[in-house]
Chain A
Amino acid sequence: MKIAQIAGFLGSGKTTALLKIVAELRKKDYRIAIVVNDVGEIGVDAKFIEANGLKAREISGGCICCQIAGSFAETLAKLHDSFNPDITIVEPSGVAIPWGLKRAAEYSEAKTEMVIEHAPVITLVDATRIDMLIRAVRRLVETQIREADVCFINKVDSATPESIAKCESFIKDINPRAEIGRMSSETGEGIALAAEIIESRVSPRYDDAVEAELLKKQYSGGGK
């Protein structure tokens, strides 16, 4: 089963992008499951997804990359056994660590007969408030960018060219290996590309050594 995570800070447009990407993938007849990990005990995102005619499994009560990794793994195993999706799209809480989520997803292999494959980690960066994010929650946003395979600068339809350029420079500084795209759920820009990336590419499995290296970079104080 392929796991595709769409990471990004709160309000970065993950749920709206997810809906569009799922619609794109369903056009190609993929069986898609959706797992949402909202902040807090009462979810809004899963309700919104269901109001748009899709089913979503909601996991609450903590962060799926560590606190409730067991619940997440259990959910994936049950989804596999009951629905057998081609791709499970995961919307983490906005504060989850992508590599931690990979590890948690792979726990599900111990619960049922399946092999987890990861789509490239996609991180959305909100171009309309990049300055505010850098000022208030820089470490968190840096982590999500550092651990991404592909970063989409989101909401480009309503951001200034300067803000978009700043996002691009910020991403390149933190994660020079990441592919950078532009996205707007309003205009549809980037949606087909994101779906194609999820559909056709894979990202490495969880590796202690890789995560250790990422963490060391995080704690060395450097951006790269």
Chain B
Amino acid sequence: MMHDDHDDHDHDDHDDPTVEGSRLHLEIHRAVDELGKYAIEIRIKSQRGIPKKDILGFIEDLMRIATKNCLDHGADMVGHVKSILISEDGSIMSSIVDYDAATKVKDDMGTDTVYEGVLTLHVIVHGIWDDVIRDHTKEILPGVAKKWKIPYEIVADYFDMEKSIEHHQ
């Protein structure tokens, strides 16, 4: 039978290890939520094909500008900004953990022209809430896509403020 470890959260007895455990879980999950997170999935599709160098430029700009936009609007640390583009010809994984360091890119795309792929982007930063990250990421997407001439559609778009502590309340 499953054990429910969230029954005692409203008590305030510091000598009770069960309560201490609940308090720690709550605090840890608040820490998660201080790490605001936002994820978006977009489909890139072009019948004429998109040069891989443009795809790489698009991903680099999207990640760096979204990160900078969050840092300019209250975030005080990058948690992890990461993305993966998957197509039938392979994948491109990119990662930022420090805005002042170069984006880490693992290019396993076995073609110079991409016709279709799905890009998943996670923006996780410390100090601002999920909806703020969402706004500051989505607002830059059209401009970056236009710069690199990337046709796209949003497939999934997710944020959920304080989801991880809801069950404690």
Report which A residues bind B (CB closer than 8 A): 10-11, 38-44, 47-48, 51-52, 62-63, 65-67, 69-70, 73, 93-95, 97, 100, 103, 107, 110, 126, 128-129, 132, 135-137, 139-140, 143, 208, 211-212, 215-216, 218-219
Contacts and interface: CB of A to CB of B under 8 A. Distances in A.
Contacts of B160: 40-41
Contact of A44 (B20, B25, B29, B82): B82
Given A95-B32, A110-B1, 7 more contacts: A10-B35, A11-B80, A40-B122, A62-B164, A67-B164, A95-B31, A219-B24
A212 B21 contact: yes
Contacts, number: 137
Contacts of B159: 40
A52 B40 CA distance: 22
B97 interface: yes
Contact of A48 (B23, B84, B98): B84
Contacts of A97: 24-25, 28
B3 interface: yes
30 contacts: A39-B32, A39-B124, A40-B160, A43-B120, A44-B39, A44-B84, A47-B84, A47-B86, A51-B84, A51-B91, A52-B108, A63-B29, A63-B32, A67-B167, A94-B80, A95-B28, A95-B29, A97-B25, A107-B2, A110-B1, A129-B97, A136-B77, A136-B126, A137-B31, A137-B35, A143-B28, A212-B21, A215-B17, A215-B21, A216-B20
B93 A51 contact: yes
A136 B124 contact: no
Contact of B98 (A110, A128, A219): A128
B20 A212 contact: yes
A176 to B, nearest CB: 21
A184 B3 CA distance: 38
Contacts of B14: 219
A69 B21 CA distance: 15
A208 B27 CA distance: 19
A181 B1 CA distance: 38
Contacts of A44: 39, 82-84, 93, 120-122
A10 B124 contact: yes
B72 to A, nearest CB: 17
B76 interface: yes
A139 to B, nearest CB: 6
Nearest to A136: B77
Nearest to A67: B167
Contact of A40 (B27, B37, B101): B37
Nearest to B93: A48
Nearest to A68: B167
- Which of B17, B34, B76 is the most central at the interface, judged by chain A CB atoms within 10 Å of its CB? B17
Interface in B88-118: 90-91, 93, 95, 97-98, 101, 108
B32 A136 contact: no
Nearest to A52: B108
